[in-house]
Structure 1
Amino acid sequence: MDTAGKSITCKAAVLWEFNKPLSIETIEVAPPKAGEVRIKVVANSTCHSDLHVMNGMPWDKRMQCPLILGHEGAGIVESVGAGVTDVQPGDHVIPLWNPQCRKCENCKSNRTNVCSGLDDTHYTGLMTDGTSRFTCNGTVLNHFMGCSTFSEYTVICDMAVCKINPEAPLDKVCVIGCGISTGYGAAINSAKVKEGSSCAVFGLGAVGLSAVMGCKAAGAKTIIAIDINPDKAQLAKKIGATKFLNPKDFGDTPIETVILKESGGNGVDYTFECIGNAATVKSAFYSSHKAWGVCEVVGITALTKEVSIIPLALVAGRKWQGSLFGGYRGKDDVPKLVEQYMNKELNIDDFISQNIKLEEVNEAFDLMREGKFARSVVKYD
């Protein structure tokens, strides 16, 4: 492309300070260096992880403003730096906030999907050489989770991008970049939900609804969906929930007590905490079966939050574990999820509440704060 090797001027949503709205700015995006890819972002959906950071609750203290948020995007490769072979200009791609370098100890193991290839810089807001590719009126802007897709153009390490089917609608499959994969995979890959089992999902944002969908795909017989917003009930049941519970309907009775009663006194086989709330993590744990229950922690909690449990509650066989990116390896598995969508085996459309312009992104996050929408998708011109 004629922009290759040159800086590109474009629009981006910049977070200048925590607890402040995003500001739409004109920025400069430098060309990619060796091992990097510059992408024209076509679509990017809003995610609670972005909102956590906006609200001043980053899960890594190295995250600093000013930065460009966004990590649930899809786009087209504009240019590549030296040594990049996985993708080329014109390829349709999804950025990977959980990269896959295929070289680190983790990538070589079958025990985890968590790559450590970008550990030194991923949360510092910089590329691997310790610099940024973004500036705004001379001020350096930080990258976010190696993606920064609330920008019309972004630069990403080649280990953090995967090529996908060029026929896939980018304004749909962008949600696979985090929300869909994280919840769906938590059920399918991490918890390994068994056919005929019972499940409880706490929190019905896109991640929680995806977990419900994953439980159904795995053949769960009972799927209890839990949220304090009664408006979530209809969609949860459409996607696969067999019952909806609103904790507010039970007064001072803890929701785990309600679920124990619903499940005959012992708890359900699998629970999924998809909010990122320490109190809910505890409720999810004690809602799992006393002998063989699996409690899957999926939501991102604030750095300072802790959860206390009685160790004896683990002795009989309960498992308390976490799931990152649904257990998926980005380069290997995200293209397969795209194909599942293309083959009508994976529901994405019901998760997208509205399409918006970049200038409307703050209003979209306000609606997310109110629990009204699962996902708003920014479609760039």
Structure 2
Amino acid sequence: MDIEGVGIIESIGEEVRSLKEGDAVMSHFIGECPNCISEKSNLCFKYPLSFTTGYGAALKLADIDHNSTVAVLGLGGVGLGVVEGARERGAAKIIGINIHDKKEEKGKIFGVTDFINAKNSEDKSISKMVKEATGGLGVNYFFECTDVPDLMINQERDLGQ
């Protein structure tokens, strides 16, 4: 079962005080599995929510610094979660990287400030495109959210040079 329990609030009722239109929200399934019961994790065994995986990685595990630069390769559920977590941590620049232009608009809703279409690379590696997008400085955090082994191997090699 693959559930994307995430969305953007389109409207709110008169009594709602803690949320506003445009806020990103995600569902949490509390009390149905050992992780939920432990109150130490939102990784749910029963409902694998890819968004919360990325969100938690950016917000809690990587502990992204305020005003940092973040690149996210892959803007599916996990990648968009990373983007939202990076935005909430105060990242100054969030570079979304994907092979589909339609992901740019959705990425910007969650906090992407710059978009790179990896198919428009003109034979440049992703790491070279990221360096160009940052004026040669590179990024403080890089998240690979595609699960494509060739991309991971190529980026590791390029970043190591």
TM over 0.5: yes
1:92-107 equivalences under 5 Å are 93-95=31-33, 99=35
> Which residue of 120, 136, 156 maps to 1:265?
136
> Which residue of 84, 94, 98 maps to 1:213?
84
Q: Which amino acid aligns with 1:45?
A: I
* Distance change >3 Å, CA 258–CA 229, structure 1 → 2: same
SS for the counterpart of 1:194 is coil
**Is 2:62 the counterpart of 1:203?**
no
SS for the counterpart of 2:103 is helix
Identity of aligned residues (%): 30
The answer for unaligned runs of 5 or more in structure 1 is: 1-12, 14-43, 48-72, 76-91, 103-109, 114-144, 148-173, 289-309, 314-381
Task: Tell me what 2:120 maps to.
Answer: 249
What TM-score do the two structures reach when normalised by structure 2? 0.70
Residues 25-64 of structure 1 show CA distances to partners (whole Å, capped at 9, x for unaligned) of xxxxxxxxxxxxxxxxxxx6269xxxxxxxxxxxxxxxxx
1:33-48 equivalences under 5 Å are 45=3
Residues 317-360 of structure 1 show CA distances to partners (whole Å, capped at 9, x for unaligned) of xxxxxxxxxxxxxxxxxxxxxxxxxxxxxxxxxxxxxxxxxxxx
SS for the counterpart of 2:94 is strand
Residues 151-193 of structure 1 show CA distances to partners (whole Å, capped at 9, x for unaligned) of xxxxxxxxxxxxxxxxxxxxxxx6xx52222111111111111
Task: Tell me what 1:191 maps to.
Answer: 62
CA distance in 1, matches of 2:73, 2:117: 10
- The answer to whether the Cα contact below 8 Å between 1:202 and 1:208 also exists between their aligned partners in 2 is yes
The answer for unaligned runs of 5 or more in structure 2 is: 6-26
CA distance in 1, matches of 2:140, 2:157: 11
Bigger fraction of residues in helix? 2
Q: How many residues align?
A: 138
- The answer to whether the Cα contact below 8 Å between 2:98 and 2:117 also exists between their aligned partners in 1 is yes
* Distance change >3 Å, CA 285–CA 250, structure 1 → 2: same
Bigger fraction of residues in strand? 1
* Distance change >3 Å, CA 287–CA 185, structure 1 → 2: farther
1:131-280 equivalences under 5 Å are 147=46, 177-280=48-151
Shift of 1:238: 1.2
1:367-378 equivalences under 5 Å are none
* Distance change >3 Å, CA 237–CA 94, structure 1 → 2: farther
- The answer to whether the Cα contact below 8 Å between 1:268 and 1:287 also exists between their aligned partners in 2 is no
Task: Tell me what 1:54 maps to.
Answer: none
- The answer to whether the Cα contact below 8 Å between 1:273 and 1:284 also exists between their aligned partners in 2 is no
Q: Which amino acid aligns with 1:275?
A: T
What TM-score do the two structures reach when normalised by structure 1? 0.32
CA distance in 1, matches of 2:64, 2:28: 29
Q: Which has the larger radius of gyration?
A: 1
- The answer to whether the Cα contact below 8 Å between 2:94 and 2:111 also exists between their aligned partners in 1 is yes
